[in-house]
Chains A and B, each alone.
Chain A
Amino acid sequence: MRSEATPRSALGEFADNLRAAPRRIRETAFRGGTPNTDRTRSTFVFGNVFLHLHSVRVHRWSLRWLTTAGLGIATTAAFLITLVTGVLLMFYYKPYPDVAYESIKDIHFVVPTGRYMRNIHRWAANVMVVTVILHMARVFYTAAYRSPREFNWLVGLALLVTTLGLSFTGYLLPWDQLAYWAITIGANIAQSPREVTDALGITEMFDPGGMQRLLLLGSDTVGPEALIRFYLLHVMILPLVLTGLFSMHIWRIRKDGGLARPVDADERLGPLPRTYPVFTEAPEKTYSLAAVVRGRTAVVNRGPENTIPSMPHLFYAELAVAMLTVAVCLALALVSDAPLRELANPLLPENPAKAPWYFLGLQELVSFSAFMGGIGIPAIVILGLALIPYLDREDSQTGDWFGGPGGWRLVWRSIVVGLGSVLALEAFAIRFGWLREWFPDIPQLVITLVNPATVLTLFYGVYSVWLVRRHASARAGALGLFTCFLCGFLVLTVIGTYFRGPNWVFYWSPADWPRH
């Protein structure tokens, strides 16, 4: 406040303003002030574009270790690590055949910290694949996909597919043997609808497979055009898609009323300690935000009594999970180098030519039928997963691990059925072969429709429909189907990783592989 009594020169005022500038910048950036009362903590969250994706207050149930195991945040942290390390790698990577390989070697041997950065990038990507699958399993087994969270389950599925797409396009970039043959195989899987159109004799008129391959490769051969396309997908298109979907995913958690929790969560948690053990210094006054958020939210009908401010309780928990993820990635990157095979050789694939572990289950499926293993069954699986929240519209035991009819016992039984059937079918196919060996002249369409992969999928489907009937509950069917799906994924991945040798022949151990 300026007073008439002490007129000041314009220059003096300027100097004062200049002195005050740092403080004013801080105050204008963080309008709410220090977040040390419940009110300023609220403004701290909803006044910040990044933090406001979270709700201002969080239910105590959400902060229990067993509610989420921090898997979503671990996935996010892994993604952020790949983002940072990925941008750093782009300083030196050159997306052109052969040159790309040299630039990866430069990154490994010459660039300061390049080798470590590439290792971290690769390990964070692997961690992300693991945590995203575990996160999906957590959401499924706590039935957290139910109303009103159905749509967020779909967004999550899209995030899973995008994550796998990023992994796939990532390991194509070094242009080594793995990359070259993965591009070749991937492009031919994209072309594999021809397996069906050829069998029907309509490829001349209707060729979606050929079109997909052409769009992916940008050419009729695997070369520079293909590499630059996969590079573009990896560093631009897919990360943008992932960021967009991720923002929706987090925002919807808030809009859907926080994390799912049992109806009796409040009773189970007991009363809120009068003074929450940490961070509390201000009066325990609570601010309900019911007025600004419509619908079934954390506070409507329940009152805010069992919620605590997101800042700091939620954010510190998230930060801890993120730091743990960083630590794990850094440690793994120290002990294990990202692989780099020989320079791409179009004349000769490696033997065996194996994808990274997370695609070996798919490679096993593809070894039965290209179209069914590469496109048909993945599409069926994704469709089945997408429909789960719309078919299971029950509401008992939402938020409880393995809740539902029979619960744990049903999951155990499904594990036995899921593991047993995939193992039996694989053992049969490995021991006795399949239709082609018994009837060499059998039409390809029959094999496309009837092969171990489709038989297994059908069996899982029939089993879960049977569960729906037996328990008169869609949740029972979903529990069975999802458990079987995880078992199938696990067994196929393990067989592909450890028990397939040269020419994709079954071996008990790599020690038995023929030398050549």
Chain B
Amino acid sequence: MTTSEGPRSRLDPEPISRRDLLGLSSLWMTAGSMLFALVGALRLPRAAVLDSPSKRVRVSLPETLPEGTAFVPPGGGLAVFRDAGGVFAISTVCTHLGCIVKHTAGGFECPCHGSRFASDGTVLQGPAPQPLRWLKVSPSGEQWVVDQAAVVPAGTKVTA
């Protein structure tokens, strides 16, 4: 270890003794290893295996489903419609904070924070950041399968 010659500026760091250096570095190493152990331990609460129930719903639409009327399958979370263009499904999970929106004549309304959506899911009012999601519908014999995990562009309608 060398000491610089000449007057020291007051901005220069204080010279540190060997004993202090060893003591401080062992303290920092202890802190570092503690932190490392803590980060490792904190991996525990992050679940590796998720519940992930099936997002695919099999829907039997009633023969006489008037245009503009929602069919909500048991299990909820989506509304299925049929019109001249075909069958389509819209998620009724509010894009704001996840409440279930209610289908009304004018569109959808959220009971929790007042978001309103048009009947095609676009946001009319309120805090919802995104339109309601359109879900993928595929025909399956007489029935329809809606995949709640698959989002399709708004306006996608399916015919059998």
Contact = CB atoms under 8 A, between A and B. Distances in A.
Interface stretch (A32-40, A305-313, A341-349, A458-466): A341-349
A370 B97 contact: yes
Interface in A207-259: 211, 214-215, 218-221, 223, 225, 229
Contacts of B116: 503
Given A440-B124, A502-B111, A503-B109, A185 B97 contact: yes
B70 to A, nearest CB: 13
A225 B127 contact: no
Contact of B97 (A220, A229, A366): A366
B130 interface: yes
Nearest to A437: B125
Given A370-B97, A440-B122, A349 B47 contact: no
Interface string B103-133: 0000001111110100000111111011000
Interface stretch (B4-12, B25-33, B48-56, B152-160): B48-56
A490 B22 CA distance: 56
Identify the interface centre among A214, A349, A353: most chain B CB within 10 Å of its CB.
Answer: A349
A184 interface: yes
A211 B47 CA distance: 11
A60 to B, nearest CB: 45
A370 B96 contact: yes
B51 A223 contact: yes
Contacts of B125: 433, 436-437
Contacts of A502: 111
A8 to B, nearest CB: 57
Given A349-B111, A349-B112, A503-B114, A184 B99 contact: yes
Nearest to B42: A215
A186 to B, nearest CB: 9
A134 B122 CA distance: 44
B127 A369 contact: yes
Given A368-B127, A437-B125, A221 B114 contact: no
A187 B99 CA distance: 12
Contacts of B45: 215, 218, 229
A163 interface: no
A219 B51 contact: yes
B46 interface: yes
Contacts of A367: 113-114, 126-127
Identify the interface centre among A219, A353, A370, A373: most chain B CB within 10 Å of its CB.
Answer: A370
B98 interface: yes
B17 to A, nearest CB: 27
A98 to B, nearest CB: 16
A449 B116 CA distance: 20
A370 B109 contact: no
B99 A436 contact: no
Contact of A436 (B53, B75, B109, B123): B123
Contacts of A82: none
A350 B53 CA distance: 24
B114 A504 contact: yes
Nearest to B51: A219
Contact of B111 (A195, A219, A351): A351
B99 A181 contact: yes
B51 A184 contact: no
A437 B126 CA distance: 8
Contacts of A352: 111-112
Nearest to A194: B129
Nearest to A213: B98
Nearest to B53: A221
A436 B124 contact: yes
Nearest to B52: A220
Given A219-B47, A221-B53, A349-B112, A184 B122 contact: no
Interface in A297-353: 346-353
B129 A353 contact: no
A167 interface: no
A366 B96 CA distance: 9
B59 interface: no
B47 A225 contact: yes
A347 B122 contact: no
Contacts of B86: none
Nearest to A443: B129
Identify the interface centre among B47, B98, B112, B124: most chain A CB within 10 Å of its CB.
Answer: B112
A403 B110 CA distance: 47
A503 B51 contact: no
Contacts of A363: 113
A68 interface: no
A366 B50 contact: no
Nearest to A226: B51
B51 A353 contact: no
A347 B127 contact: no
Given A218-B45, A351-B111, 12 more contacts: A181-B99, A211-B46, A348-B100, A349-B100, A353-B99, A353-B112, A366-B127, A373-B127, A436-B124, A440-B124, A451-B127, A504-B112
What 6 pairs between A and B have smallest CB-CB spacing? A504-B114, A351-B111, A347-B76, A367-B113, A188-B97, A444-B129
13 contacts: A181-B99, A184-B98, A215-B46, A218-B45, A221-B52, A225-B47, A229-B45, A347-B75, A347-B77, A349-B99, A503-B109, A503-B111, A504-B126
